Amino acid sequence: MSRIGKKPVQVPAGVTANVDGQKVTAKGPKGELFFVANDEVSVKLENNTVVVQPLNESKDARAKWGMSRTMIENILKGVKDGYERKLEINGVGYRASMQGKNLQLALGFSHDVVYQTPEGITIAVPKPTEIVVSGINKQQVGQVAAEIREYRGPEPYKGKGVKYAEERIVRKEGKKK
């Protein structure tokens, strides 16, 4: 039994939700998103809450039940508030800057890395060692942050590289003489 799937999703104030068969559409101040639920779950809009139920008691239906509810909650929160991920850059000479819509990263390579910002994502660089990725789609924000981090992930000896702001790097001890 899904503990997450049992909870109905409250539609926040300022957001309009519409359920058309398996398609849930949310429209809010930040934009519009939709999610198409799997055929093994039923989605209903009842007095300003979205209720997700499995159609049968199969293992597959129960697995998709909680996931569908979470995806609906994510689109409702995304169109109201949006999502953001903060990245930090550590290392001598490592820095980031915006060049038009593109993110330019100096990460110790012989060349600068230029990351093109995808549609629907906003990248800001408040400090040369800080990157803020924001948007309304939670999956897309996380994917862009992961792609930027992938260029030079944090290494465990000196802690140099690009890391998430909340990430804690477990440091290793270097060689002994």
**Band of the pLDDT at 3, cuts 50, 70, 90?**
confident
Nearest residue to 173 (alpha-carbon basis) of 160, 155, 157, 161: 157
Residue 130, classed as helix, strand or coil, is strand
CATH top-level class of 3-80:
alpha beta
pLDDT in tens, 73-112: 999 999 999 999 999 999 999 999 999 999 999 999 999 9
Per-residue DSSP letter, 133: E
Let me know if the fold of 3-80 is the same as that of 83-164. Answer: yes
Length of the chain in residues, anyone? 177
pLDDT in tens, 36-72: 998 899 999 988 899 999 988 888 888 899 899 999 9
CATH 3.30.43.10 for domain 83-164: no
- What pLDDT does 1 receive? 58
Residue 138, classed as helix, strand or coil, is helix
Domain assignments of the chain as residue spans, ordered by start:
3-80, 83-164
Evaluate whether 5 touches 50 at the Cβ level (below 8 Å).
Answer: no
